Amino acid sequence: MFEIKCPTKEEIDSYIWEELPEERGIEISEHLSVCKECQRLSQKEFRTKLILESWTAKAHGEAYWQKRLSEALESTLELAKTPDLKNRLKEWIRGSNGKIGGAIQIILGGIEEMGKVLTLFPQRFLVPQAVQFSRVAVVRGAGKEPEVIKVISKDKPGIQVLTDLVNRKVVVQIEESQKSPPLIILSPKEGKPFLTEPKKVEGTNFYTAIFENIPDGEYILIFEPKK
């Protein structure tokens, strides 16, 4: 009797998040129906997906997002430390009627897998030229950094968002272009937001914005609209 080859943990996770070609997805579905070991491996990822989808459904209403974005922008304006930043934020609010240039939802804490990153967002709150991310575009680190999660934009110049679960840090890297990089706000579901202006990294062709010592919670990473 020949031994059935099990899919990898990465393939099982991709199957759960509906990221596999249809034919391979059917094969793994059939395998999970008979292999108890692979069923065990899949349970944690299934639980994570259910939790995230429940959160998204609860928080996805337009009224919720309208209120949360307005509060984030107004609170950030209060915290701006220089006249230049205040003026830039005022122009953002006036010029786009409070719309944003892109957003990512980030969840930190609790279950290890809650570091998953979602990029679902109501389209009407984004400007037409908003940064575009895949719905779930997660690439886990390897070797010494297995808990670093990376999300990559579809645009040029490119944007990478790295969520470091162990060190409680979110890093945004933006490729250099002719335009200045956007202001970036990290807004928690509750409490005051964080504001940063990406800085050019000497000897490289990109800008970096770093948010450190981030408490557990639900956040949205908000990008200033392109000018």
pTM for the structure as a whole: 0.68
Determine the structural domain holding residue 26 and report its residue range.
9-53
* Section 75-84 average pLDDT: 88
97 plus 175 within the same structural domain = yes
130 plus 219 within the same structural domain = yes
* Section 100-116 average pLDDT: 68
Residue 36 lies in a domain: yes
Residue 93 lies in a domain: yes
Assess contact for 80 and 89: CB atoms under 8 A: yes
69 plus 120 within the same structural domain = yes
93 plus 183 within the same structural domain = yes
As to burial, measured by CB atoms within 10 angstroms (0-12 exposed, 13-18 middle, 19+ buried), residue 43 is exposed
**Sign of the C-alpha dihedral computed for residues 196, 207, 70 and 51 taken in this order:** negative
83 plus 141 within the same structural domain = yes
Query: Closest Cα to residue 216, out of 110, 117, 139?
Result: 110
136 plus 47 within the same structural domain = no
Whether omega for the bond prior to residue 157 falls within 30 degrees of 0, making it cis, is: yes
Q: In the numeric block, which tokens belong to residue 21?
A: 């070609």
Q: How many domains does the chain have?
A: 2
Residue 2 lies in a domain: no
72 plus 174 within the same structural domain = yes
More confident residue, 80 or 64: 80
26 plus 98 within the same structural domain = no
206 plus 175 within the same structural domain = yes
Q: Does pLDDT of 1 surpass 70?
A: no
Residue 42 lies in a domain: yes
DSSP 176: -
Q: Maximum CA pair distance of the chain? A: 75
What 3-state DSSP class applies to 34? coil
88 plus 186 within the same structural domain = yes
Q: Rounded mean pLDDT of the chain?
A: 79
pLDDT (0 to 100) of residue 166: 79
Q: Could you read off the pLDDT of 11-50 as tens digits, one per residue?
A: 888 888 778 888 888 888 888 888 888 888 888 777 777 7
138 plus 208 within the same structural domain = yes
Residue 122 lies in a domain: yes
pLDDT (0 to 100) of residue 44: 74
Residue 22 lies in a domain: yes
Q: Does pLDDT of 193 surpass 90?
A: yes
119 plus 216 within the same structural domain = yes
* Section 97-111 average pLDDT: 77
Burial 119-144 (b: 16+ CB within 10 A, else e): bebeeebbbeebbebeebbbeeeeee
Residue 106 lies in a domain: yes
Query: Closest Cα to residue 223, out of 101, 132, 131, 70?
Result: 101
Which spans in the chain are helix H? 9-16, 22-32, 36-59, 62-79, 83-95
Assess contact for 202 and 50: CB atoms under 8 A: no
Q: In the numeric block, which tokens belong to residue 149?
A: 């999660």
Q: How far apart are CA 73 and CA 100, in angstroms?
A: 10
Residue 159 lies in a domain: yes
